Structure 1
Amino acid sequence: MADQTNHTTTTSSGSSSMLAFVVGILVVVVGVLAWVVFGNGDLAQGGGEDINISIEGTDTPLESAAEAVSE
């Protein structure tokens, strides 16, 4: 008669799902804290401050390029 060996493996996923839940909560908390610290957490501010950008030039771009190449 052949020898028979029975192997029983029991796994529990309760601890790993709890760890995933805790890590998820920590990620959300860190995200909210980063938003408050770096974004000032002001929802009523709207779009932020107005930004005005002006670019001034003396010559037309083509003339400036031609002079730069010839120098």
Structure 2
Amino acid sequence: MSDHADTPPRNNTTTTTTTTGSGGNTGLAFIVGILVVVVAVIGFVVFGGAESVSGDSGDDVTVTIEGAGDAVDDAGNALQGAANAIEGAAEEATDGQ
């Protein structure tokens, strides 16, 4: 048989490397930060916007349209004519029943 005394000793080494994912939420934190800034800017514009540019801080607005009376009358007459045409077509379709 063979002599086992001539066999060199075996040194077994095991190396274990463990990596942990740090900084994985950095992208999410960046997106949430942007959303917070956008909401803050929109809130400022909607609720606390700039002062009136005209210098008059009154809330009253008066709009006057001159010459619109004729246009309104013409539009009313056109609508009445269309209604009469539809009514006539409906009566004709049902033979006046």
The TM tier, using the shorter chain, reads 0.3 to 0.5
Structure having the higher Rg = 2
Say which structure, 1 or 2, has more relative contact order (CA 8 Å, 6+ apart). Answer: 1
Q: Report the TM-score when normalising by structure 2.
A: 0.33
TM-score (normalised: structure 1): 0.43
